[in-house]
C-alpha cells in the first residue's frame, strides 16, 4: 500500500472514531480487530472490490454477509458505504487496521498473543495478563496459542513488544553466536 493510501485510510479511521465516539465500545473494538485480521488474511478474496464491473449493490450485499459474523454494527456498515461511494473500498483492510490501532491508543489497550510450549490454564493466563498490565500500564486483551516449537517456555508479543523465555530462543542465541 502506498504511503498516500495509508494516510487516507488513517484519516477515515480517525473520522469514524471521532463521529462514533463512545458508541464504539470495547466489544466493537474486539470485533473490529478480528475483522481486520480476517481482511488481512484474505486479501486475494477481496480483490474483486476494486473491480468496476460489479455494481455497488452486489458489493454491499457481499460486505454485509462478510461482516455479519464479526458482529459489525450499523455504524461500521456506514463507513463501508462511504468507502464504496467514494470508490475507496480497497482501503477497507487498512482502515480497519488503523481503527484498531487508534482505538487502542486512545484507550490504553494492548493486544497480546500468549504462546506457550505447554497447555496453560485460565489462571496461568490471568497471571501473565496481570504481569503485562503492570509492565505496560495498559489494559490487556490477549489470544492464547499453544506453540510446541518453543520446546519449553513462553512468548508474549504484541505489535510493539516482545517478551520471550524459551528453549527455542536460547538455541537461536547459541547458534547465532557460534557463527
CATH number at residue 25: 1.10.520
Phi and psi (nearest 5°) for 172? -65, -40
Q: Do residues 144 and 70 both lie within one domain?
A: no
How does pLDDT run across 126-152, given as a tens digit for each residue? 999 999 999 999 999 898 999 988 889
**Euclidean distance between CA atoms 51 and 48, whole angstroms:** 5
Q: Do residues 133 and 82 both lie within one domain?
A: no
Q: Do residues 72 and 118 both lie within one domain?
A: no
Residue with cell 473500498: 89
| Mean local confidence (pLDDT), 80-106 | 90
CB 113 within 8 A of CB 143: yes
- How many Cα neighbours within 13 Å face the side chain of 153? 14
Q: Do residues 33 and 94 both lie within one domain?
A: yes
Q: Do residues 99 and 126 both lie within one domain?
A: no
Last residue of a domain, one of 77, 106, 135: 106
Q: Do residues 98 and 133 both lie within one domain?
A: no
Strands 153-157 and 139-146: unpaired
Residue 72: pLDDT over 80: no
Where residue 109 falls (left for φ over 0; alpha for ψ -120 to 50; beta otherwise) is beta
Residue 6: pLDDT over 70: yes
Last residue of a domain, one of 106, 131, 156: 106
Q: Do residues 17 and 91 both lie within one domain?
A: yes
Q: Quote the number of domains for the chain.
A: 2
Residue 178: pLDDT over 70: no
Alpha-carbon 135 to chain mean position: 21
**Euclidean distance between CA atoms 67 and 29, whole angstroms:** 14
Domain limits for position 22: 3-106
Q: Do residues 129 and 117 both lie within one domain?
A: yes
pLDDT score of 33: 83
Q: Do residues 8 and 56 both lie within one domain?
A: yes
Q: Do residues 61 and 79 both lie within one domain?
A: yes
Q: Do residues 137 and 84 both lie within one domain?
A: no
CB 128 within 8 A of CB 145: no
Confidence of residue 156 (pLDDT cuts 50, 70, 90): very high
Last residue of a domain, one of 106, 122, 156: 106
Amino acid at each position: 500500500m502506498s504511503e498516500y493510501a495509508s494516510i487516507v485510510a488513517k484519516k477515515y479511521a480517525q473520522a469514524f472514531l471521532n463521529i462514533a465516539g463512545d458508541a464504539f465500545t470495547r466489544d466493537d473494538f474486539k470485533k473490529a480487530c478480528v475483522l481486520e485480521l480476517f481482511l488481512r488474511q484474505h486479501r486475494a478474496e477481496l480483490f474483486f472490490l476494486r473491480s468496476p464491473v460489479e455494481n455497488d449493490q452486489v458489493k454491499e450485499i457481499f460486505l454485509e454477509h462478510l461482516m455479519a459474523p464479526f458482529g459489525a454494527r450499523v455504524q461500521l456498515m456506514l463507513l463501508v458505504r462511504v468507502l464504496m461511494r467514494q470508490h475507496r473500498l480497497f482501503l477497507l483492510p487498512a482502515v480497519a487496521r488503523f481503527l484498531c490501532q487508534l482505538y487502542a491508543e486512545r484507550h490504553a489497550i494492548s493486544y497480546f498473543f500468549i504462546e506457550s510450549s505447554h497447555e496453560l490454564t485460565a489462571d496461568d493466563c490471568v497471571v501473565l495478563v496481570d504481569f503485562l498490565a503492570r509492565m505496560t500500564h495498559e489494559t490487556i486483551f490477549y489470544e492464547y496459542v499453544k506453540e510446541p516449537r518453543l520446546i519449553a517456555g513462553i512468548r508474549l508479543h504484541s505489535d510493539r513488544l516482545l517478551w520471550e523465555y524459551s528453549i527455542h530462543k536460547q538455541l537461536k542465541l547459541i547458534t547465532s553466536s557460534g557463527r
